[in-house]
Structure 1
Amino acid sequence: MRLNASIYVARFLLTSGFPFCGHDESEGSEYKGAFLELLKWYGDRNFDVGRIILGNTPQNDMMICRTIHKDIVEACAKETTKAIIEDLDSDYYGILDVKRDCLYHLDRVAAENLLNKLHELELVFTLHLMFKVLLLTNELNKVLQKKDQDIVKSMGLLDLSKKRLQMMREDEWDSMKDEVSLFCGKHGILIPKMDEDYSNEKSKRKRSNILYLHHFRVEVFYAFIDLTLQELNNHFGVVTSDLLLGMASLSSVDSFANFHKDRIMKLAEYYPSEFGDKELREFNFQLDDFVVNAQKCDSMFLNLKGIKDLATMMIETKLDQTWSLVYLLVKLTLIIHVATASVKRAFSSMK
């Protein structure tokens, strides 16, 4: 009964497209998220269910954790896929087989339209372009999804991805066009002449004022790459990059292996109320002494795992007083994570 209750709630949230989890699911929270709130509502209205869920559960068997959520969602996905395959008579590619007798005329028309779309240059070109762009950003995507992120490596891959996309935009149009043309030739897909007027499928009667060459080169090729670059820039702007690289350069991991003075100085400049011109000059000298001491003289800096350990060690050894401005920036760096998380939660709850 407990499992079924969680499944019923999960199915409702999936069907409605609602999120499962809340920002604060603690007992004192006024709103614990859709899953827990709906499960409690269900238990309040069904005595048999209410007496075995949530706080009435023996030990730790409430079946409400996020791992359980994912298992239920995965099970729903498998059942949905199974139902679709059964509808297709166990033929995974049945929708493309327009020669088979369909149960309904509309199914036949839909299948024919899909098959026609697959044989259009527009779709073929777009899919080739998407595949190539995803390949260029694949390594960056994998690094960003890791729990333990190497910030310096991530930012390096970000810069590399931007450069490769820009190079593709400037130099690889001809090779892209030839690649798509070769594919279309092998599969019998019609390629219009590039110097002819572009025909928009949505308004065939209306003559366009652009050529096929302009459409595919400017409105598809350039536009898609520019959109990808814009997305990367939006997520990793100049300020974000400076903050991340400055934090990584200040990290004590592997005896300050990522130390980069210019990046740390840039990070300090983002706090003008704490680091004015006078403080920046003094910080410049303190930073040199601090790093030389940490890397070559003081064994206490060995085996530190990050900025949190560095801050703790500096307090315990009174080094926060010796290099007060270095410690100040370490403190401000620790706050960045908290401030960013708080802002994200605030915007998310507003949505």
Structure 2
Amino acid sequence: MEQFLKRRSPPSNIELDDLPHDPAKRKNIQDYHPDQRDEVRRKYLTRGPCQPRSHTFKQKSVGNALWRFNPHWFDQYPDWFEYSMAEEKAFCLFCYLFRVQVGKQSGCDAFVSTGFSSWNKDDSFSKHSIRHALHKQNDIMKDEYRIRLSASIDVSRHLLHQGLSFRAPTEKEVSTNKGNFIELLKYTASQNEAVRKVVLNNAPKNNQMTSPPIQKDIAHCFAEEVTKSVIQEIDNDIFALLVDESADVSDKEQMAVVFRFVDKFGLVKERFIGISHVKETSSLTLKHAIDSLFAKNGLSLKKVRGQGYDGASNMKGEFNRLRLLILKESRSAYYVHCFAHQLQLENFFDMIHLLLNVIGASCKRKVVLTELNRKRMDERIKNGEIKSGTGLNQDRSLKKPGNTRWGSHYKTLFHLAEIFPCIVEVLEHIQNYGTDSTKRQQAYGLLKYFHTFDFFFYLQMMLVLQKLRDDGWDDFVAKVYSFSEKNETEMTNIEDEFVDSRKPRTKTGITNLHHYKVDCFYTVLDMQLQEFNDRFDEVNSELIVCMASLILIDSFRQFDKSKLVRLAELYPDDFSFVEWRSLDHQLDIYLDNVQKDDRFTNLESLGDLARVLVETRKHLSHPLVYRLLKLCLILPVTTETVENDCLVCFIEKHVLETITNETVIKRFQNMSERRVHL
């Protein structure tokens, strides 16, 4: 009676996302309430087996030899074979979910309960099989089901690719608005006779494959396959972790996660992985959410080589604590704050870079710009607006920044402000008469941006900051006096004793000069410097300086072997002592090699350098240099902002296009018990 009451008692709430991924940490499936077992099974089937490919598998003494687990077995048995990092043993996912465990078993049945670790007996894997009792079904029925399911998958793929919603408020046949999914399925059926015969009204009423749960399951299958493809693209290599805060429609906190890595072609990629909901916003909770995401996808925090966070409100401070927790597990997971992103300057400098490419890519356009500016200067001199003379009003041209230092950027912006009307005239000519449609479109976008308040605000702010740095205190005070005199306000003797207006009778013991120069002017500058210091600590600053030594401009003029060797020292988990010593010699050979190769002469970025190194296969000749380059490229300087889980497929639409229907069908069938077995 007690057992009966226990079985009939209401189930306690369980968080499906918190279910342990490691097979040794799971509780028996029979220990869950009967009403929850199918839900738990579906969750584990959707996740797939625990296959930590990047785990360092321990050796085990068997007989007189040492044996260890071979991760290639995951590829041989991808559906059921899983590994416990806690117990260092192999298990069977299907046996855990569907087979009743009756104590300790031996042989192949060790996969069920105690775990298998006889790595010298890999024939046991093929002997271990899971047989499902399948209902005998008519082949015609299966074919019709497959056509129906494939049609729903094709419709879902299109809607996900375009970022369109699936459903309408009501999808009944009598409704005038049946939603994008049903309407697109109807159109697909009208264009294909084979599909028309088996979908919608021609399908069994209980198996039309169009219900909201079916639509949701298909979308989820696509998202899981996209994520799986991204993990395979990383290929157990190093990557950076980017996290952004975003709230859902009910204002619940969630984390959007992006991975930044260099693929096998030398291309830098940022891939959206998904969104993790968090119950609270403490650093430990955020860390737990990331641990769960990594465990689900068989990833290790030890592979993280960079961190980037963008959070608002109460999560922002917790991200600072989170990065310290991750640093404890991966000491080279450096965090570099993107100050330009914080100031919303990223788009500003992107547009400046585009301008330099549009005009600077053509000698003819540069000559036209110079001639226009010369004519403009002559007219202004003639009208008495400006004076001529040695060193005055020289010809201005747009120059690309030479390195990472602010001074070169300032010169570019200064020249831009000086010849802005001429630049607009050249862009208008490109937009109206250019022969290259891409350049015409770029000119249109630049002209549109250059007439916004944002552009003028950030341009002047950058110039003012530099001017304040150059002119300093004397020029600043002169302007204050000039403004005060012009507006007939009270003049202050800078040498008199400062009087605090809040306590006029109290002696301050300092002069007005000291108060305004030290307590005000310098304090504000110190606050700004402190802000930079907080965001760019000593190690991060050294990272950026060392990375600049890889810049390609002026035939690798910034190349500094000592700084690059120092950069390798900052990544002790990626360079052994022997490799670190070998890097010194390899850098000399690398520099001589690329300087003599014309394919490296016109590259503009480190990303271009990595790509061409792979294309020329020089990354194989200089593996340590290429490894160093990859570490630089994955160091995050920007973050991706995302809003909801459906964006996985929309953002990674290029990956979505590679997912086959058969792959989705297989995952869809494994999610839960279906009416038809394929």
Q: Which has the higher strand share?
A: 2
Q: Which has the higher helix share?
A: 1
Q: What interval of TM-score do these two structures reach, taking the shorter chain for normalisation?
A: 0.3 to 0.5
Between Structure 1 and Structure 2, whose CA radius of gyration is higher? Answer: 2
Q: Which has the higher contact order (CA 8 A, sep 6+)?
A: 2
